[in-house]
Homo-oligomer: A and B are copies of this chain.
Amino acid sequence: MDVEKLFHMAGGTGPTSYARNSSLQKKASDTVKHITLEALQQLYLEIDPKTINIADLGCSSGPNTLAIIKDFVQTVEMTSREILQNPAPEFHFYLNDLPTNDFNSVFKALPDFHRQLRNERGGGSSPSVYIAGYPGSFYGRLFPNNSLHFIHSSNSLHWLSKVPPTLYNEMGESINKGNIYISESSPSAVSKAYFKQFQEDFTLFLRSRSEELVVGGRMVLILLGRIGPDHVDRGNSFFWELLSRSLAILVSQGEIEKEKLVAYHAHFYAPSKEEIEGEVGREGSFKLDQLDMFQVERQGHDRGESYGSAVARTVRAIQESTIIHHFGIGEGVLDNLFEIYGRLVDEEMAKEEIKPLTFVLLLRKL
């Protein structure tokens, strides 16, 4: 599967779009917003550039994309005014996601966004905010040398560049039969394959960003992770386990082929603290100023629905592009799949809570 061409959050603004089903991601991002904004403030005070260049990697499309820009502008303007007593810099935002992301939706929202920015300042002069879309994989270079001051990436770096190729033997058969991610019944070669892919990808990510950032530049990375050395947990791997089971139920219903399920894998990895620290140290261009783990609290039941249904909607908005491509199924079977999935999540939650674990990393370019 060519992730660059296929993987994308569900576009548009309809009921199953990512735009309308990304409140869990927003919650994670909001929980650590103070860390992000403090890092930005520190960076700004140290470097004090005339134009501040900020990239958001894996920006996706929807309300989260532009909300964070507003926070960045407010923080820097406030710092200019109250601490530096200088005019605010110009802002240059670089929004990145894969080329299949729905950038059109983001761009169409820009005229109103600029109007809002102006109005909220109550008649003062407008901030100079320039916003660009940069399509491409962040596992590789995206921006010119030394062109960025600050990088933010929320809920993206747990996505690998590809399904680890060593998950398949010479005959092209999966060594992780029936599981779509590392699970209790996976042989140890499966965890190794995933870890190796994470190491390659994360190192390439760090090296690429290190060329793009100025010295002293900061990165705040928010990604799913796991609590200890064991890969199988109720934090993140269990959500995949339940998706495996849901797909297996579709096989038993004759809706999808067993061979297709056996060949399907998540291009995902939840690293541990030690694994992250190991890669940052080995790569060598960054100092890890902070690494915290937190749990995103369970959502309120906004729409009078169960937690499982809310999770199912979120996971669907993320996964449906690859599921449709791999299994070749239509809307009806997808509805069925995520109804089953939501039910399984609710059943498990009744036994014991499943809490997604998230890391926030603050890195400084040496």
Chain B residues within 8 Å of A133, by CB: 103, 107, 132-135
Contact A132 B132 (CB under 8 A): yes
Query: Complex Cα distance A134/B92, Å?
Result: 11
Binary interface profile of A, 101-118, with partner B (CB < 8 Å = 1, else 0)? 111100110110000000
By a CB distance below 8 angstroms, the chain B residues around A102 are: 104
A94 within 8 A of B: yes
Contact yes or no, A144 B90, CB < 8 A: yes
Name the contact of A111 in the complex, choosing from B4, B128, B131, B142 (C-beta under 8 A). B4
Determine whether A145 belongs to the interface, using a CB cutoff of 8 Å to chain B.
Answer: yes
A31-89 residues with Cβ-Cβ distance < 8 A to B are 50-51
A115-142, CB < 8 A from B? 128, 130-136, 141-142
Verify if A5 is at the interface (C-beta below 8 Å from B). yes
User: Which residues on B sit within 8 Å (CB–CB) of A5?
Assistant: 111
Determine whether the beta carbon of B107 is less than 8 Å from that of A103. Answer: yes
Least distance between A150 CB and chain B CB atoms (Å) = 15
A147 close to B (CB within 8 Å): yes
CA–CA, A94 and B99, complex, Å: 16
Task: Say yes or no for A143: interface residue by CB 8 A criterion.
Answer: yes
| Range class of the A interface residue count | 20 to 34
Bound together, the chains give a CA A141 to CA B143 distance in angstroms of 22
- Whether A319 is near chain B, meaning CB under 8 Å from some CB there, is no
Give Cα A130 to B133, complex, Å. 11
For residue A100, CB closer than 8 A to chain B, the reply is yes
Q: Which residue of B lies closest to A97 (CB)?
A: B107
Contact B144 A51 (CB under 8 A): yes
Partner of A134, one of B90, B108, B132: B132
The contact string, 1 if C-beta is below 8 Å from chain B, for chain A 249-276, is: 0000000000000000000000000000
* A107 neighbours in B (Cβ, 8 Å): 99-101, 103, 133, 135
Since A94-B132, A130-B141 are in contact, a sample of 13 more A-B pairs with Cβ atoms closer than 8 Å, ordered by chain A residue number, is: A5-B111, A51-B144, A51-B145, A90-B144, A92-B147, A99-B108, A101-B107, A103-B103, A103-B133, A104-B104, A110-B136, A128-B141, A131-B135
